[in-house]
Structure 1
């Protein structure tokens, strides 16, 4: 299990934040808060589970807790550059403190956006505008979190079958992950090294399912996160462009959802891009129902332009 020295924690009294570079320390401090609502906190739970399964935490990662009146956790952020900071916060005070903190205490990586719940992302964007009146903050993606309620697989399914991806599929899955990142406007923040790390992590616990043709040709894939607090999240789902519209994505999503359910996972989740009506309709046909909306914002000054990530 990944762990860092307790010296990696660095409280910042002037900002109100407690910080650490150790995912285990963060999980210990914020764990009760996160486990109280696994759906709301699905992203950070999956990130922590993945980091703790690695030999060492991701370099440059930072985790922060915004304390409540009793010293517990009222909100948090995590940042694994080059991805955007991800935050769930109780209100404007924490948002302004976060923008100040990331601008002053962690200045090496410019804050070029934010990801989180719809409410948190908007209030952080407002705080960033106040600090950078010459800059531009724009919501570039609206997302919706769905929960599996009643699995309804495609009937009839498309030709083919599902199987777990193995080591022999590594190069294909890496390529598809990078293509998925490009489709989702994540390409500027996703290197091949990061894609390989993601794939190796998923393959280590059979976290990728392929839909293949009868002759064994892979047609589509779906991933699933490690279980955390009784929940998993299906991500990503990808079909190459030339194979879309044939039902493969629905079939592989249904099968990976079934596998998670059969493994006894109480909460099975997934995100959609609200700008994509096809995927939103598909997942609802499969039995997923809306939980909450999230958003990705991009921040631009005269010096920095970046592509935000969901």
Structure 2
């Protein structure tokens, strides 16, 4: 296993491979681009190679999950077997792994056997891709860019979004920083009805040809009115003015969100698992 200390050299080594499945690898590509923009204090990047052949690509920005792309799927089991002890020896600080469903679950099971600690699935995710927005009836209201005046509301919604998703709550400083950044970078959008914000979403992790929609949240008292569906549709249509496709992740156990995204035009392209590792 090779450890990389230069994100630009790492990018040069792995990007051509990642772009072969750009939408499927959009999480790793987007975070890699953010690392190159110096947006993370800490990161770790690794590859598994054999005689010049790239077998696997790994990246983590603690405290986020370890992102793992298996390039040569025919050797997946042997790659896991080689990677796990090497990662334990390096003692890279991560407690979760995200990868394609089969690879993530196998990795988690093998990690558990190696450490004598059980790994568990935190979330079964669907990765969706959109190339064209369907013609749908929009809810009342309209989309607008979030502004500084929305900061307190978006901080409240960010906390609620984490809680609804079962995520560990961010400490206050990080939460404020994340919301401030999305507003300052014009990444956050709000669906507003008669002057009242009811739903939000953000664009994130742009890749060469695509971009991700995330942080889709509707105030509990405003749900069931189609606001999130309308916001995702209008935002995605705007993003497709400069990108070829959009991606988003869903919790596969949430039938409502999966339904509304497919109504907008998103289609599933990969199942992903988010595994929690006992360490």
Give the alignment's TM-score, normalised by structure 1: 0.82
Q: Where do 1:44-63 residues align within 5 Å?
A: 44-53=28-37, 56-63=38-45
Q: Tell me, yes or no, if structure 1 residue 114 matches structure 2 residue 97.
A: yes
The 1-side partners of 2:5 and 2:152 are apart by 31
Gaps of 5+ in 1: 1-16, 305-310
Gaps of 5+ in 2: none
1:220 is paired with a residue whose SS is: strand
Change (3 A) 1:174 1:67: farther
Contact 2:112/2:119 (<8 A) preserved: yes
The 2-side partners of 1:69 and 1:238 are apart by 47
Change (3 A) 1:19 1:57: farther
Tell me the equivalent position of 1:196: 176
1:92 to 66, 77, 82: 77
The 2-side partners of 1:32 and 1:81 are apart by 25
Contact 1:22/1:57 (<8 A) preserved: no
Question: Which is richer in helix?
Answer: 2
Contact 2:128/2:247 (<8 A) preserved: yes
Q: Where do 1:65-84 residues align within 5 Å?
A: 65-71=47-53, 73-84=54-65
1:128 to 111, 128, 147: 111
The 1-side partners of 2:40 and 2:252 are apart by 30
Change (3 A) 1:57 1:45: same
Give the alignment's TM-score, normalised by structure 2: 0.91
Q: How many residues align?
A: 275
Would you identify which runs of 4 or more consecutive aligned residues in structure 1 move more than 4 Å? none
Q: Tell me, yes or no, if structure 1 residue 261 matches structure 2 residue 261.
A: no
Contact 2:125/2:273 (<8 A) preserved: yes
Contact 2:34/2:40 (<8 A) preserved: no
Q: Return the offset for 1:26.
A: 2.3
The 1-side partners of 2:124 and 2:136 are apart by 27
Higher relative contact order (CA 8 A, sep 6+): 2
